[in-house]
Amino acid sequence: MYETPSPLLLSRTAEAAYWAGRYLERAEGTARLIKTHAELIMDLPRSATVGWDPLLAIVGIDTSYLPPSRQATEETVVGHLASNVSNPSSVRASLAAVHRNLRVTRAVMPIEAVEVLTELHHHVQDTADQAVDRRTRGAWLTSVIRGCQTLSGILSETMSHDDAFCFFTVGRHLERADLTSRVLDVQAGVLTSRPDDALTPYAAICWSSALQSVCALESFRRRGRASSAEETIAFLLHDTKFPRSLESSLIQTSRWLLEIPGHETAMAACAEIGRLLQDSHADVLVEDRLHPFADEFQRKIAQLHSRIEASWFAPSHAVVG
For 198-233, what is each residue's pLDDT tens digit? 666 667 777 788 889 999 999 999 988 777 788 889
Q: Please answer whether residues 115 and 47 qualify as being in contact, where contact means their C-beta atoms are separated by less than 8 angstroms.
A: no
For 30-45, what is each residue's pLDDT tens digit? 999 999 989 888 887 7
Residue 29: the pLDDT is: 95
Q: What sections of 85-132 are H helices per DSSP? A: 91-104, 111-127
Q: In the chain, what percentage of residues exceed pLDDT 90?
A: 61
Which residues have a Cβ under 8 Å from the Cβ of 1 and sit 6 or more positions away?
none
Higher pLDDT, 81 or 225: 81
Helix (H, G, I), strand (E, B) or coil at 203: helix
Residue 195: the pLDDT is: 47
CA distance 67 to 64: 8
Q: Please answer whether residues 209 and 36 qualify as being in contact, where contact means their C-beta atoms are separated by less than 8 angstroms.
A: yes
For 248-280, what is each residue's pLDDT tens digit? 999 999 999 999 999 999 999 999 999 999 999
pTM, 2 dp: 0.90
Provide the total of helices (H) and of strands (E) in the chain, helices listed first: 15, 0
For 141-153, what is each residue's pLDDT tens digit? 999 999 999 999 9
Confidence of residue 17 (pLDDT cuts 50, 70, 90): very high
Q: Please answer whether residues 18 and 308 qualify as being in contact, where contact means their C-beta atoms are separated by less than 8 angstroms.
A: yes
Confidence of residue 8 (pLDDT cuts 50, 70, 90): low
Mean of the per-residue pLDDT values of the chain: 87
Amino acid at 57: A
Q: Please answer whether residues 56 and 62 qualify as being in contact, where contact means their C-beta atoms are separated by less than 8 angstroms.
A: yes
Q: In the chain, what percentage of residues exceed pLDDT 70?
A: 86
